Amino acid sequence: MHSSLFERLKAWLAGDIGADYGIAQLQAAAGVASFSSQPPAVHFNPLGGVHGGYTATLFDAALGLAVYSQACAEEVYVTASLQVNYLRPIGLAALPLRTEARVQQREGRHVAVQATLHDAQGLLCANASGVFTCLLHTASGATQSVGLPAR
């Protein structure tokens, strides 16, 4: 069952932040998420490579989308930890990129997730792991206690 937050997250990624980060071809199923991206020039560092923060943002978005793709309507998750391993530089020749995330384990309030980022040639450029923590799980679905705006 997809939560309304899952739908909001998908819309957010398909909207302004998706445009800011060049995200396209967004796909999600139970516990899995993926998208392609073409970083705009603002995300390149002075050496001509993609800034590491861009890569980390892609991972956070993909991991979160994978978590929310299997969340119940009452569950609100936040990133508790994010570990990114940069394996090779990403330059213009590597574009477009493909980010894929998959839920690995759910234990209590915590969900462990892993993701990969491949370049246009299919080479692994970076990988990430994260833990998302459920801050709220109520029958009413109230979210005001964690500061999420109502939409």
88-137: pLDDT as tens digits: 999 988 899 999 999 999 999 999 999 999 999 999 999 999 999 998 76
SS3 content of the chain, % helix, strand, coil (to 5): 30, 40, 30
Predicted local distance difference test score (pLDDT) of residue 150: 43
Q: At 82, which CATH number?
A: 3.10.129.10
Q: What is the pTM (predicted TM-score) of this model?
A: 0.84
Q: Is 110 domain-assigned?
A: yes
Q: Is 151 domain-assigned?
A: no
Contact 117, 97 (CB under 8 A): yes
11-65: pLDDT as tens digits: 877 777 888 898 988 888 899 999 999 999 999 999 999 999 999 999 999 999 9
Q: Is 77 domain-assigned?
A: yes
Confidence check: pLDDT of 149 > 50: no
Q: Is 85 domain-assigned?
A: yes
Contact 118, 82 (CB under 8 A): no
Q: Give the amino acid at 150.
A: A
The tally of domains found in the chain comes to: 1
Predicted local distance difference test score (pLDDT) of residue 7: 77
Cis check: omega of the bond before 39, within 30 degrees of 0: no
Confidence check: pLDDT of 143 > 80: no
Domain span at residue 26 reads: 4-146
Phi, psi of 138 (to 5 degrees): -125, 155
In the predicted model, what is the mean pLDDT of residues 2-18? Answer: 73
Predicted local distance difference test score (pLDDT) of residue 148: 44
